[in-house]
Amino acid sequence: MKLNRQQHKYPFIILGMIHILLLILSMYKSKDRKKHTVLLLNYAGFAYTFEYIVVALLDGYVYKPNFFKNKNLDKIFGSIWSQLFYVPVTALFITVYQLGWKIKLLFGLYFVLIEKLFIFLGIFKNNWWRTGYTFLTILLSFFINDKWYEQLNKRNPFILFISFFHLIQLTWMNTIFAFAVFRKIRLGFPPFLTWKEHFKLAPLVGLFISLFSAWKMKERSYVSQCQVLILMFVIDITLLKKRMLKVKEIPVLLTIYAMVLRTAEFYRKLVYESSSNKSE
């Protein structure tokens, strides 16, 4: 029974409400909300990279939530709902409640059933991807998330850095996505700069900027902030000259710069200072 296009969004919204409840329960139970927030956003950062490879580059599967008329934009938005909210929130719930392998297995099957239902409803389509891959990758990610939390508590420098990087990356990508939706900015290859090109190029730019920002800003320094600002400015000027970036107005770029710098400083405190506290 396939839904008509106007009904496609409702299963995504209903599932979103379920996972909002899981998020509320997780944060209510949590004894260290700052650290669990880092854990949640770090998982979402990993999911962002996964979706970039499997969906944007390799076209493994297609979401059809029908929030937007443009198919490429709609596909990515569906991906954001799934991999940047549904699955990360579930992983957080499992870690906070210290649930064992049997519950992890059940949640893995839960997402398999959701995928099967979405295929049946016509709001999700596998290309070369298989539902079995979904089960295995999600189940494995639940175990990795638990181990990641252990290493956050132990203040593993590598784990802290990657978490910091993922938080910056999420902010940059979501800011770019929001401006792109309102047609304020677009990346791609001349002469057209298509949506498909945007979702292939933008994450690469964000990856480089986020890694550099995490490297420079892991210790508080105004010099480091200036270096990050200069890098973003140089990248944008280069892309503009090569006609690989279209911007409606300069304040858009200034807003992105301010967002990255301000949130990176907040994330630095969240990751490094909250992680310095003994886990309860």
Average pLDDT score, the chain: 92
How confident is residue 116, by pLDDT bands cut at 50, 70 and 90?
very high
- Residue 275, pLDDT > 60, answer no
Instruction: State the pLDDT at residue 90.
Output: 97
Q: How does strand 245-247 pair with strand 61-63?
A: unpaired
79: CB partners within 8 A, 6+ apart = 51, 55, 63
Tell me: the pLDDT tens digits for 189-230? Answer: 988 889 889 999 999 999 999 999 999 999 888 999 999 999
* CA–CA distance, 26 with 33 (Å, rounded to integer): 9
Structure tokens at 275: 């992680």
Task: Name the amino acid, one letter, at 164.
Answer: F
Most confident of 68-72, 189-193, 260-264: 260-264
% of the chain residues with pLDDT over 70: 97
Over 80: is that where the pLDDT of 122 sits? Answer: yes
Q: What would the mean pLDDT of 2-16 be, rounded to a whole number?
A: 87
Range scoring the smallest mean pLDDT among 99-108, 133-142, 173-182: 173-182
Lowest mean pLDDT among 39-48, 64-73, 133-142, 259-268: 64-73
Measure the CA dihedral 203/81/33/161, to 10°: -20
**Mean pLDDT calculated for residue range 49-63:** 92
Question: Does position 80 have pLDDT exceeding 90, yes or no?
Answer: no
Would you kindly state where each structural domain of the chain is located, as residue ranges? Answer: 1-153, 155-280
What pLDDT is attached to residue 276? 58
Looking at residue 172, its pLDDT comes to: 93
Confidence of residue 280 (pLDDT cuts 50, 70, 90): very low
> 185 - beta bridge partners?
247
Identify the top-confidence range among 81-90, 157-166, 182-191, 271-280: 157-166
Q: At residue 88, does pLDDT exceed 60?
A: yes
pLDDT of residue 82: 83
pLDDT digits (tens, 9 = 90+) for 232-254: 999 999 999 999 999 998 899 99
Mean pLDDT of 69-89: 87
Tell me how far CA of residue 72 lies from CA of 20, 111, 135, 169, 200, in angstroms: 26, 23, 25, 21, 11
Type and span of the H or E element at 260: helix 250-268
